[in-house]
């Protein structure tokens, strides 16, 4: 049998190295990437508008701002200047922002400044990743997930409508049955003024309906549903407390961390109650975390304050394309997680049959042993948090949804450590894949993109 040669691109030398709106709130929302167009055509040919004009900065307002400095997420205990450097021989070299990145950032800001954003062009620009420091990832992700319309003029009204909808959902769905009973009684009392003064909001024992009694086990009983949900709520509580314990944003005793945990908890409970077919599956907290982090750290304070509502709707949209992976009844179907893992195995066989044969035939490493976590958790457990955000830029930019791009990235992860895998036995390979090494993420995404094309020969 003739072994397929590794493609040349795998070892590429490349890796050696709108008119301002009248509404003041919309101006504040869009100014971090909108251009001040003198001709009013919204084509982004003017200077970037300033996000705010404090008195001490008034004299400098006319000067264009310097390029923003790259930012990164630092875990608790990590040295401030530490960079996640690759230690695998297949890595490309990680370098600072290149001229190409600055050019992409300019393209991105120009596209976002238009009256109507071309989402197809936006996907193309951000597919390799959103440049660090641009400060627009929250807005870009909302556009890619369909939460924001392409017409910038509709952003304020749409956001206000969705945030009010979320507030009402919380009030309706997350209410304790005691509060529901109290409000029902209050509503009834208001219809009868005499009853209102006589009872003072207290139900007589004979007036408590069967479905409102805490000991009622009927399917329509609000208390029965409440007790059934208690087990899920406890699981969510445990998982939320375990979410990224190395990051002060999610973990610790600070009021900020506790508020963020409460927001994650609310979103997951609300999702579970509104989606009885899936409910809550352990690990959903890991998928929720990057979304909430990005929206909660939005440079726009008003948007950051509404991160919980925005995250909920974007989380629902993201999981709508991945829900089959979380539905146990579909595990063995053509759309279930086992079928998805089989597609990853076939993809590896197409592009590197020698590696596929060594893993699955010679060393008998079943892809379920490592790929189940990779796929269901969207790689959130395999890389640093900063790298996860970069990978998700690419995942969310795929117009057909993240699944296909995710499989190509997983396949690229195998190919990029092929020499170590080919030299390893079952134990060594399983350990390597369950504890994936540091990686140049730009190189990983480049290799994954090359897998779009069918292998020759």
Could you please report the per-residue DSSP string of 153-185? GGHHHHHHHHHHHHHHHHHHHS--HHHHHHHHH
How far apart, in whole angstroms, are the C-alpha atoms of residue 49 and residue 33?
Answer: 7
In tens, the pLDDT along 435-449 reads 999 999 999 999 999
Q: Worst-scoring range by mean pLDDT, 31-35, 100-104, 133-137, 242-246?
A: 31-35
Contact 240, 285 (CB under 8 A): yes
Give residue 36's pLDDT. Answer: 38
More confident residue, 218 or 153: 153
Residue 361 is classified by DSSP as I
Residue 46 in any domain: the answer is no
From 304, 308, 376, 288, select the one nearest 338 (Cα to Cα). 376
Burial pattern 394-423, b for ≥16 Cβ within 10 A else e, equals: bbbbbeeebbebbbbbbbbbbbbbbeebee
Residue of 374, 431, 360 whose CA lies nearest to 406: 374
pLDDT, the chain, mean: 77
- pLDDT at residue 407, as a whole number: 96
Distance of CA 1 to the CA centre of its chain: 44
Could you count the other beta carbons within 10 Å of the beta carbon of residue 302?
Answer: 11
Residue 40 has pLDDT above 90, yes or no: no
Asked if residue 11 is part of any domain, the answer here is no
pLDDT at 193: 52
Give the mean pLDDT of 83-108. Answer: 62
Are 8 and 285 in contact by the 8 Å Cβ rule? The answer is no
In the prediction, which pLDDT does 80 show?
A: 35
The CATH number assigned to the domain holding 357 equals 1.10.472.80
CA 229 – CA 236 distance, rounded (Å): 11
Q: What pLDDT score does 47 carry?
A: 40
What was the pLDDT predicted at 255?
A: 96
Range from 274-288, 374-388, 441-455 that averages highest in pLDDT? 374-388
Model confidence at 278, in pLDDT bands (50, 70, 90)? Answer: confident
Is the pTM above the cut of 0.75?
no
430 and 383 together in one domain: yes
In a domain, 68, yes or no: no
Q: Is position 43 within any domain?
A: no
| Phi (first) and psi of residue 366, to 5 degrees | -65, 125
Q: What is the pLDDT of residues 424-434, one digit of tens each?
A: 999 999 999 99
Distances (CA, A) of 410 to 309, 361, 397, 428: 31, 19, 17, 19
pLDDT at residue 203 in the model: 40
Instruction: Look at residues 128, 108, 124 and name the one whose alpha carbon lies nearest to residue 447.
Output: 128
Is a pLDDT exceeding 50 seen at residue 376? yes
Which has the minimum average pLDDT: 24-38, 112-126, 138-152, 356-370? 24-38
311 or 253, higher pLDDT:
311
Q: Which of 72-81, 103-112, 213-222, 261-270 has the lowest mean pLDDT?
A: 72-81
Which of 305, 321, 337 is the last residue before a domain boundary? 321
pLDDT at 281 over 60: yes
Q: Dihedral of the CA atoms 290, 344, 422, 359 (nearest 10)?
A: 120
CATH number at residue 316: 1.10.8
For residues 313-327, average pLDDT: 83
pLDDT at 85 over 70: no
Q: Answer whether residue 252 is part of any domain.
A: yes
Residue 340 — pLDDT band, cuts 50, 70, 90? very high
Q: Binning pLDDT at 50, 70 and 90, where does residue 321 land?
A: confident
Q: What is the pLDDT of residue 279?
A: 86
178 pLDDT above the threshold of 90: no
289 shares its domain with 313: yes
CA distance 10 to 18: 41
Whether 416 is covered by a domain: the verdict is yes
| Residue 64: pLDDT band with limits 50, 70, 90 | very low
Q: Are residues 293 and 406 in the same domain?
A: no
> Residues 181-202: what's their mean pLDDT?
48
**How many domains does the chain contain in total?**
2
| Residue 337 lies inside a defined structural domain of this protein | yes
Residue 314 lies in a domain: yes
Express the helix, strand and coil content of the chain in percent, nearest 5 each.
60, 0, 40
Give dist(CA 246, CA 237) in Å, integer: 18
Residue 67 has a CB neighbour count (10 Å cut-off) of 14
Same domain assignment for residues 275 and 359: no
* Contact predicate 282/302, CB 8 Å: no
Q: Report the chain's C-alpha Rg in angstroms.
A: 26
β-strand partners of 35: 48
pLDDT cut 90: percent of the chain above it: 55
Cβ neighbours of residue 346 closer than 8 Å, sequence gap 6 or more: none
pLDDT band at 100 (very low <50, low <70, confident <90, very high): confident
Q: Mean of the pLDDT values across residues 360-389?
A: 95
- Does residue 434 share a domain with residue 408? yes
Q: For residue 235, give the H/E element and its range.
A: helix 222-241
The Cα-based distances of 246 to 235, 253, 378 in angstroms read: 20, 13, 19
Domain boundary among 273, 294, 321: 321
The winner for highest mean pLDDT among 124-138, 193-207, 300-314 is 300-314
Domain residues for the domain of 229 are 111-178+218-321
Q: Are residues 257 and 123 in the same domain?
A: yes
Residue 339 burial (10 A CB sphere; 0-12, 13-18, 19+): middle
Nearest by Cα to 392 from 298, 289, 297: 289
Cβ(125)–Cβ(161) below 8 Å: no
Q: In this structure, what token pair is assigned to residue 73?
A: 């997420």
């Amino acid at each position: 049998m003739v072994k397929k040669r590794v493609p040349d691109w795998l070892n590429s030398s490349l890796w050696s190295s709108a008119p301002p709106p009248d509404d003041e709130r919309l101006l504040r929302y869009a100014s971090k990437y909108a251009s001040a167009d003198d001709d009013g055509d919204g084509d982004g040919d003017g200077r970037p508008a300033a996000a705010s004009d404090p008195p001490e900065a008034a004299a400098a307002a006319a000067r264009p701002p310097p390029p923003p400095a790259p930012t990164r997420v630092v875990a608790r205990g990590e040295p401030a200047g530490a960079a996640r450097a690759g230690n695998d021989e297949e890595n490309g070299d990680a370098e600072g922002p290149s001229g190409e990145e600055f050019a992409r950032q300019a393209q991105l800001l120009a596209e976002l400044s238009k009256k109507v954003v071309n989402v197809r062009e936006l996907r193309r620009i951000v597919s390799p990743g959103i440049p660090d420091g641009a400060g627009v990832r929250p807005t870009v992700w909302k556009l890619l997930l369909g939460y924001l319309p392409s017409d910038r003029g509709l952003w304020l009204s749409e956001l206000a409508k969705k945030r009010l909808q979320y507030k009402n959902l919380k009030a309706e769905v997350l209410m304790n049955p005691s509060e529901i009973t109290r409000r029902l009684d209050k509503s009834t009392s208001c219809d009868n003024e005499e009853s209102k003064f006589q009872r003072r909001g207290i139900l007589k024992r004979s007036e408590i309906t069967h479905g409102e009694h805490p000991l009622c086990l009927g399917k329509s009983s609000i208390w029965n549903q409440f007790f059934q949900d208690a087990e899920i709520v406890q699981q969510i509580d445990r998982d939320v407390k375990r979410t990224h314990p190395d990051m002060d944003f999610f973990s610790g005793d600070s009021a900020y961390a506790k508020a963020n945990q409460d927001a994650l908890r609310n979103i997951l409970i609300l999702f579970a109650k509104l989606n009885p077919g899936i409910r809550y599956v352990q690990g959903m907290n890991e998928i929720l975390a990057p979304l909430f982090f990005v929206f909660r750290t939005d440079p726009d304070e008003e948007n950051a304050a509404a991160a919980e509502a925005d995250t909920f709707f974007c989380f629902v949209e993201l999981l709508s394309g991945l829900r089959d992976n979380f539905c146990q009844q579909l595990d063995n179907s053509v759309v279930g997680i086992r079928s998805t893992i089989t597609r990853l195995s076939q993809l590896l066989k197409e592009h590197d049959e020698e590696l596929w044969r060594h893993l699955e035939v010679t060393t008998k490493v079943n892809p379920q042993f490592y790929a189940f976590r990779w796929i269901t958790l969207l790689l959130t457990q395999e890389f640093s948090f900063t790298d996860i955000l970069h990978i998700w830029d690419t995942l969310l930019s795929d117009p057909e949804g993240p699944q296909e791009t995710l499989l190509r990235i997983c396949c690229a992860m195998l190919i990029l450590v092929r020499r170590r895998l080919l030299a390893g036995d079952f134990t060594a390979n399983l350990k390597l894949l369950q504890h994936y090494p540091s990686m140049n993420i730009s190189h990983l995404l480049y290799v994954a993109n090359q897998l779009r094309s069918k292998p020759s020969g």
